[in-house]
Amino acid sequence: MSSEFSPIDKAKFVAAKRAVDYVDDGMRVGLGTGSTAAWMVKMLGELVRDEGLKIKAVPTSNRTAQLARDVGIDVFTLDEVKWLDLTIDGADEFDPDLNLIKGGGGALLQEKIVATASDQMVVISDASKSVETLGAFPLPVEVVKFGWQTTKALIEECLSNVNVLGSAVSLRLQNDAPMLTDEGHYILDLHLKRIENARELSLILNQVPGVVENGLFLDIADAIVIGHGDGRVEVRDINNGTVEKEQIDILLNENLFADIED
């Protein structure tokens, strides 16, 4: 990897590289969405091409599906596969118990469905996403378009009754228009700063009419691979209570990084 890549880029890369070690031949694998997950997909594509790895992949977004096809991975729907051995995905924030905020890329609904339909979820992240308490990253909430402003008002009312530091709610835009998810929904971003009781908030939000799903991933992740800019990785397994540390070679073919966007 050349010096033009930042320490964050390198951290994401080594996390993704270490995570592909979880994938065995014949597995049914959920493929996450985002820049770190995109590197993981490209690495799996190299294994498919160069080492004959055979997997059935279920992407969590249209753009991940296209990338997987581009690198030669066989893509299936969740309905075709039914259940997954493993999902590898990124996170916008994670706490010491491996609870997550996800949805910065707009794919939270499909990501949560795929992750919960898996025997194991492995999170890939750089160390900057680590927090003691969730909430610094805006919490995405996917809502139906019909009556979305009413849904927004109901969410704001709910926030006045829960223990959070902020209560601003904004509609996510793309090119000056409401961003549409792959399922045709809108996303509201909740700028909460700190969430004292994530489990309570998740339950409350999902009871609001018009809310499809929220970006709190609680008790879903089994392990996390945390990358550092100097090539170090830390693997935390929440089920075994283990922490492993190792060094990953980051001198790789730069073609792996072409066309990857946040």
pTM of the model: 0.93
Q: Where are the alpha helices (DSSP H) in the chain?
A: 7-19, 35-51, 62-70, 78-81, 108-116, 148-159, 198-205
Distance CA 198, CA 173 (A): 25
- Domain of 27, in residue numbers: 7-130+219-252
On whether both 118 and 41 belong to a single domain, the answer is yes
* Sequence ranges of the binding site: 33-36, 89-92, 102-105, 129
pLDDT score recorded for residue 249: 82
CATH number at residue 63: 3.40.50.1360
Q: Count structural domains, the chain.
A: 2
* Sequence ranges of the binding site for substrate: 33-36, 89-92, 102-105, 129
pLDDT score recorded for residue 251: 63
pLDDT score recorded for residue 2: 45
Q: Is residue 257 part of a domain?
A: no
What is the mean pLDDT for each group of 10 consecutive residues in the chain (262 residues)? 74 96 98 96 97 97 98 98 98 98 97 98 97 98 98 97 96 97 98 98 98 98 97 96 92 53 45
- Annotated catalytic, 111? yes
- Which one of 51, 80, 111, 157 is the catalytic residue? 111
**Residue 219, both tokens:** 């008790």
pLDDT score recorded for residue 250: 75
